[in-house]
Amino acid sequence: MSDNLVLAALTRLEAGQTQLQAGQAELQAGQAQLQAGQTQLEAELGQLKAEQKSLRTDVLAEQKALRTDFLAELGKTRADIMERVERLEDPVNKIRDDIAVNMGAVEAVERVNENTRADLRTLQEQMWIMWKQIKQLQTEIREVRGDP
């Protein structure tokens, strides 16, 4: 019986060893799949990094181009505005000159008007004095003639 027990134990050991070998083969196959997956992930990660770097380069180049275009357009707009200001400046200066000339003429007319008023006052005073003299002369003539 002891041989049977040994044989049964050996059979069980062989069966266990076969199962272990099968499990080890499965683990090795799983490990190979994991390594293949890791390799694929690393390749895809490298590709993703390259795409990200390319996109970043493209975005920076596009941003630089937009900035250059913006600055060029800003310079053009500034030049257009300055040109328009210069174009409008001459007519505005002419209008100012016209206003200054007209104001000078108005001041001259005001002075003439003031002088005319002063002349009228002087004439009025002279006429009043002359009228008084005429009245006095009339009175004297009436007295000489004997008129009432």
Query: Would you say 127 and 133 are in contact if contact means Cβ atoms under 8 Å apart?
Result: no
The answer to whether residue 144 sits within a structural domain is no
* pLDDT given at position 30: 92
Give me the domain span that covers residue 48: 1-121
The answer to whether residue 93 sits within a structural domain is yes
The answer to whether residue 138 sits within a structural domain is no
What's the start-to-end Cα distance of the chain, in Å? 198
Element (H, E) at 78: helix 2-145
The answer to whether residue 139 sits within a structural domain is no
Buried-exposed string 103-118: b where 16+ CB fall within 10 A, e elsewhere: eeeeeeeeeeeeeeee
Q: How far is CA 142 from the centre of its chain?
A: 96
| 8-46 confidence digits (pLDDT tens) | 888 999 999 999 999 999 999 999 999 999 999 999 999
- Mean pLDDT, the chain, rounded, equals 90
| 41-80 confidence digits (pLDDT tens) | 999 999 999 999 999 999 999 999 999 999 999 999 999 9
* pLDDT given at position 148: 67
**Which residues, other chains included, contact 147 with Cβ-Cβ below 8 Å and sequence gap of 6+?**
141
The answer to whether residue 145 sits within a structural domain is no
Token output for 114: 């003031």
Q: How far is CA 17 from the centre of its chain?
A: 82
Count how many domains the chain has: 1
67 vs 134: CA distance, rounded Å: 97
Is the pTM above the cut of 0.85? no
Element (H, E) at 147: none
The answer to whether residue 148 sits within a structural domain is no
The answer to whether residue 135 sits within a structural domain is no
125 vs 137: CA distance, rounded Å: 18
The answer to whether residue 141 sits within a structural domain is no
